[in-house]
Amino acid sequence: MSSVLLIFPKSDQPIFASSKGKGVLTRPLGFFPPLGILYIGSSLMDAGFEVEAVDFNSTLYNNENLKRLLSGKDAVGITTDSFNINNVNILINNIRKVNPEIKIITGGPDVTLHQRAIEGSDLSIAGETEKTAPEIFETLINNGNFKKLYGSIYRNHKSNRTIFGKEPYCESDLDSIKFPARELLRTEEKSKGYNFLGEKNKTKIATMIATRGCPFHCRFCAHNAVTFKRFRRRSVENCLDEIEKINGEGYTILGIVDDNFLSIVNKELVTGILKGIIDRRYKLITLVQGRVDSARDSGLYKLMRRAGVIAVVYGMESMNQDVLNFYRKGTTVELNRKAAYLTYKYGIFSMADFIIGTPFEDEKIIKKMIKDVYSMRLDAATFWTLEYTYGAPLWDEAKERGLIDGRTHTVPAGSEHNLSPLTSTELDNLSYKSFRGFYSRPIYWLRLLQKILRFDKRTLYLLLRLIQRVINIYFQRKKT
């Protein structure tokens, strides 16, 4: 029986400003267990592989731990994303020092977006691998023919030429994918970092997705490029079957982590899932992400409250309609306000992300936008500097105009590239000041106090933990 180790490396995600800003506060991306390695682990175990998984955002990363995890393994699978590629390179080097002969495969969003052979790995794979993982690892371990594999990318060591195999695989029937093997990351040791909502909840948090891809075309987003511009939904029944399993395994907190789960285009799916949770009397505390176009149907919010949804994360992006139009967001300032109001009305915690730095936003326009954000009944907010990311329409447009170097995959907005009237540093400082100002208002705390009095004790505890973490982030930056 072949033995495989699946690794999600440490990913230093920025809290505000841009990922390229100097001195920008980051923290490990360890809020929830990552789904990718759990899906792949499930597929491999079903095929007879012995599988271990680790998320180094939750588990301490050091040479001793790495050596123990690699012991007896035939191959290692490493997930790459836009926030961890530097850590991936370090990890591969360290693995080679511990075991020079072990087989290493890299895959994930970053390889799919920037299709290339990752230095130091034997094989890189682009695309979705839940169904193809057993063949990929078997071929890797037994020195088979990589060229026959879907999405394979590797180097010919004699010619040093990069070779591509079959086209990357994209699953059309999401219901046919086996549920993630969540038990791989549920031990006390491996779930240490999932304590964002309290130490006692670290082994009680499960995540799931109901869709893949995106039906929208925001100019700043590379999500469609990663998912081959194909939007797919699971059936209501399949989602409820997974929630049944989650509930039966003793999880009490559920994160539905699709970027656009709560959207008017998913109304039938969302309604079906929420009604199913209510009818089956699950007592899960649920957090979701979504678009403000969901505010076109206030009934969804009433249903969320009944189904145990305690928090919604929105990508509002701006309170300036010209900016929303520039992004081709397909939403309005009024929908932003309505979504914030409905989450307040139904006692649901609301968090929204905002972006500054379009080519026409000067300091006056940005400060007016921030003031409008402060006027809404939001419970949390983050402020980001616009980034031009490879795979996003804005990146392509800027490259065509000669404003950015095509070899640079992430470029923060700023006057340095003629992408903003302000420098990237000025934009990052405005991002932080906006973040700080949001939580410094007495009216914010008064409104929050009014709202939390409407929650039961357990939900209140979780929300207070969430606010505590946000404030800790604020004071941590203040000291730096």
pLDDT tens sequence across 371-406: 999 999 999 898 999 999 999 999 999 999 999 988
Average pLDDT on 109-120 reads 94
- For 274-306, b where at least 16 C-beta lie within 10 A, e where not — what string? bebbeeeebebbbbbbbbbbbbeeeebbebbbe
Q: What is the mean pLDDT of residues 89-93?
A: 95
Compute the average pLDDT of residues 238-261.
95
Please report the pLDDT score of residue 225 as a whole number. Answer: 87
pLDDT, residue 457, reads 63
CA distance 381 to 390: 26
CB-side neighbour CA atoms (13 Å) of 142:
10
- Reported confidence tier of residue 126, pLDDT bands at 50, 70, 90: very high
Q: Are strands 253-256 and 232-233 parallel, antiparallel or unpaired?
A: unpaired
Contact yes or no for 367/429 (Cβ under 8 A): no
Inter-residue contact 4 to 177 (CB < 8 Å): no
- Mean pLDDT, residues 185-195 taken together: 85
Band of residue 13 on the pLDDT scale cut at 50, 70, 90: low
Cβ-count burial of 1 within 10 angstroms (0-12 exposed, 13-18 middle, 19+ buried)?
exposed
pTM listed for this prediction? 0.91
pLDDT band at 461 (very low <50, low <70, confident <90, very high): low
Nearest to 77 by CA among 14, 29, 34, 30: 34
| Lookup: tokens for 42 | 């499930």
pLDDT of residue 23: 45
132-179 pLDDT tens trace: 999 999 999 999 999 999 999 999 888 889 999 999 999 999 999 999
CA dist 349 and 237 (Å) reads 27
Range scoring the smallest mean pLDDT among 64-78, 101-115, 194-208, 330-344: 194-208
At 31-49, the pLDDT tens digits run 688 999 999 999 999 999 9
Q: What pLDDT score does 477 carry?
A: 47
Q: What is the pLDDT of residue 453?
A: 73
Residues near 55 by beta carbon (within 8 Å), at least 6 away in sequence: 7, 8, 30, 33, 34, 37, 185, 190, 193
Over residues 315-340, the mean pLDDT reads: 97
Q: Which domains does the chain have, with CATH numbers?
A: 3-164 (3.40.50.2300), 204-479 (3.80.30.20)
Question: How far apart (Å, rounded) are the C-alpha atoms in residues 199 and 211?
Answer: 30
pLDDT at residue 41, rounded to an integer = 98
What confidence score (pLDDT) does residue 478 get?
45
Counting residues of the chain whose pLDDT is more than 70, the rounded percentage is 90
pLDDT at 244 over 60: yes
Residue 426: pLDDT over 90: yes
253-261 mean pLDDT: 92
Distance CA 226, CA 204 (A): 30
